[in-house]
Amino acid sequence: MVLDPPPNIGRNGALFAPGRMTRSTPGVFAGRAALGSMSGKRIVANLLVTGCAGFIGFHLAQRLLGEGRSVVGIDNLNDYYDPALKLARLAMLQAHPNFVFQKLDLADRAGMQALFAQHRFAAVAHLAAQAGVRYSLERPHAYADSNLEGFVNVLEGCRHAGCGHLVFASSSSVYGANTKLPFSVHDNVDHPVSLYAATKKANELLAHSYSHLYRLPVTGLRLFTVYGPWYRPDMALYLFARAITTGQPINLFNHGKMRRDFTHVDDVVEAIVRIIDRPPQGDPSWSGATPDPGTSRAPWRIYNVGNSRPEELMHVVALLEKGLGRTAQTNLLSMQPGDVLETFADVDDLVRDTGFRPRVSIEQGIETFVAWYRDYHRV
CB 237 within 8 A of CB 317: no
Instruction: Tell me the C-alpha distance between 56 and 114, whole Å.
Output: 25
Torsion angle of C-alpha atoms 32, 34, 35, 36, degrees rounded to 10: -160
Bond before 182 cis per omega within 30 degrees: yes
- The H or E element containing residue 152 is helix 150-161
CB 233 within 8 A of CB 82: yes
Using DSSP's 3-state secondary structure scheme, residue 373 falls into: helix
Instruction: Tell me the C-alpha distance between 371 and 379, whole Å.
Output: 10
**Tally of CB atoms within 10 A around 104:** 18
End-to-end CA distance of the chain: 43
Task: List Cβ neighbours of 146 (8 Å cut-off, separation of 6 or more).
Answer: 105, 106, 107, 128, 129, 130
Using DSSP's 3-state secondary structure scheme, residue 180 falls into: coil
Task: List Cβ neighbours of 278 (8 Å cut-off, separation of 6 or more).
Answer: 41, 165, 353, 354
Q: Which of 80, 143, 175, 196 is catalytic?
A: 196
CB 34 within 8 A of CB 42: no
Q: Torsions phi, psi of 33, nearest 5?
A: -65, 155
Count the alpha carbons within 13 Å of 28 in the hemisphere toward its beta carbon: 25
Whether residue 135 lies in the annotated active site: no
Instruction: Tell me the C-alpha distance between 239 and 262, whole Å.
Output: 15
- β-sheet bridge partners, residue 342: 259
- The H or E element containing residue 87 is helix 83-93
Name the residues annotated as catalytic. Answer: 196
